[in-house]
Amino acid sequence: MGRSGQSNDYLDRAEDFVLGIAVIFPGQGAQAPALGAPWVDSPAWDLVGRAEKACDEPLEQLLLSAPAEDLARTREAQLVVFLASLLAWETARDGLEAEGIVAFAGHSLGQITALVAAGALPFEDGVRLAARRARATQDAADARPGRLAALLGATLEQAEDACTAAPDGCWVANENAPGQVVIGGTPEGLEAGTARAREIGIRKVIALNVGGAFHTPLMAAAVDALYPDLTSAPFVDTTRPVLSNPDAGAYTDAAGWPARLTDQLVRPVRWAATMTTLTGLGATTFVEVGPGTTLTGLAKRGAPDVALRNLATPSDITPPNSNRSDSSREVS
C-alpha cells in the first residue's frame, strides 16, 4: 500500500508485463546553454510557444542564449531541463511507443516530465506546475539556505550514520545508485555530516553545485507554497505506471499524485530502488530522454544487465515508421 493509500498492485503483477522500455527523465543538473538549438527547426519546437503562453513569459531565450550563470539558478535550470526533455520526448515518442513502453520515471523535477509524457498531466498544466515548483523550491532555499554533497562509495547505512552528526541539520537527500548517496542540510549540518562521513571511511565526498538542500526538511516551505497547485492540477489515470520518487512505487491512479509530489519535496529520491522497480516491471532497456547522461550513468551501477540509450538531440532519434497511424499525435 502506498503512502497515498492506493494499492500498488503493479509490483504484484510484474509477471503479466511484456518486456520493454522504461522511459526516464533527468532532473536539475542536466541544464546547459543552448539546449534548444538543435530543436529550432523541429516540429517539436511548437512546444516552446505553448509553454510561453502557459506561463505568460518568454522562455525561448532560456533554451537558446541564456549563459551558464543564469541557468545555475534553480527556476531557470528546472524549466530548461523540463522543456528540453519534452522536446526530445515529442520527437521520440512514436518510435518508443512502437518498441513497447512499460513504465515512466523521472528524477526529482523529472517526475513532472514523466507525468506529462505518460499522459497523467496535460502539457500546459505540467509546464505551469514545473515553473511553480521551481519558484517554490528556490524561495524555500533562500529562506533556509542549505547544500548537498555526494558520498561516493557509501552505503545508505553509512550515509544515515553520517547524518547523525547533525540530526536536526543533515539528512539523506538521494539514494541514487549503489555507491552513490547524496546528503543535504544546513551549511553547518552538512559540514558536520561530511566530516563524520570521512571519519567512517567514505572514500570521496563531493560538494554539489546546487542552490539548496533539496529533498530534505529544509524544503518544508515549498510544500506549503506548492500544495494548492498540486491539489488543483488536473491529473488523470494512466494506462502505464509512473514511478514515485519517495517510495519507488509504480502508480496509474490520478488521486495520489498531489500527496506523492508533496512528499517528494522533503523526502529522499529513492532512485536506486526505482531502477529495481523498473526492472521488476519488465524493463529490459532504459531510455533517458532529455539532456545529459546522468541517469544512464547511474543505471550502469544500479541495473547493470539493462540496455541503455540516450535521446537528447534530433540526431539521436530514429524516425518512427511513417505508416504508423498515431504519428500525428502531440503532447497533450
Nearest to 295 by CA among 118, 110, 159: 110
Helix (H) or strand (E) holding 244: none
| Residue 151, C-alpha cell as written in the block | 558520498
Is the distance from CB of 285 to CB of 21 less than 8 angstroms?
A: yes
Whose cell is 491512479? That residue is: 253
User: Cα angle vertex 123, ends 118, 125, to 5°?
Assistant: 110
Which residue among 107, 108, 244, 332 is the active-site one? 108
Distances (CA, A) of 265 to 6, 108, 268: 20, 8, 8
Rg value, the chain, Cα: 19
Could you give the CA distance from residue 136 to residue 142 in angstroms, rounded to a whole number?
10
Q: Treating both helix axes as pointing N-terminal to C-terminal, what angle do 220-232 and 123-143 enclose, rounded to 10 degrees? A: 160
Alpha helices in the chain (DSSP H): 46-55, 60-64, 68-71, 74-99, 110-118, 123-143, 156-163, 187-199, 220-232, 257-266, 271-280, 294-302
Contacts of residue 78, defined as CB under 8 A and 6 or more positions apart, other chains included, come to 27, 28, 109, 130, 131, 133, 134, 137
- Catalytic status, residue 332: no
**Helix/strand/coil (H, E, C) string of 172-187?**
EEEEEECEEEEEEECH
| Residue 1, C-alpha cell as written in the block | 500500500
Which residue among 85, 107, 215, 244 is the active-site one? 215
Half-sphere CA count of 125, side-chain side, radius 13 A: 16
Strand, helix or coil for residue 25: strand
- Catalytic status, residue 108: yes
| Active centre residues (catalytic) | 108, 215
